[in-house]
Amino acid sequence: MCGIKGGENSGTHADTKTIFLRVPVEVPALIRRASQALSLRSDASSIFERAVDSGGTVRTLNRAVDLILELAGGEIASTVYDLKNEEFESWKLELRLSRLKQILGIEIPRQEVVEILDCLNLNPKINSGEIIICFIPTYRNDLKIEEDLIEEVARIYGYNKFLKLCQQEKFRLKNTLL
Quick check: 162 and 154 in contact, CB under 8 A?
A: yes
Asked if residue 95 has pLDDT above 90, the reply is: yes
Range of the domain at 13: 8-85
Q: Please report, for the domain that includes residue 55, its CATH number.
A: 3.50.40.10
pTM reported for the whole predicted model: 0.66
Q: Which residues, listed in sequence order, are joined to residue 162 by a DSSP beta bridge?
A: none
Residue that finishes a domain, picked among 45, 67, 85: 85
Residue-wise DSSP of 14-78:
TT------------HHHHHHHHHHTT---HHHHHHHS---GGGHHHHHHHHHHHHHHHH-----S
Measured distance between the N- and C-terminal CA atoms of the chain, rounded to whole angstroms = 67
Judge if 122 and 169 occupy the same domain. yes
Judge if 57 and 130 occupy the same domain. no
pLDDT in tens, 44-55: 777 777 777 777
Asked if residue 115 has pLDDT above 80, the reply is: yes
Asked if residue 143 has pLDDT above 60, the reply is: yes
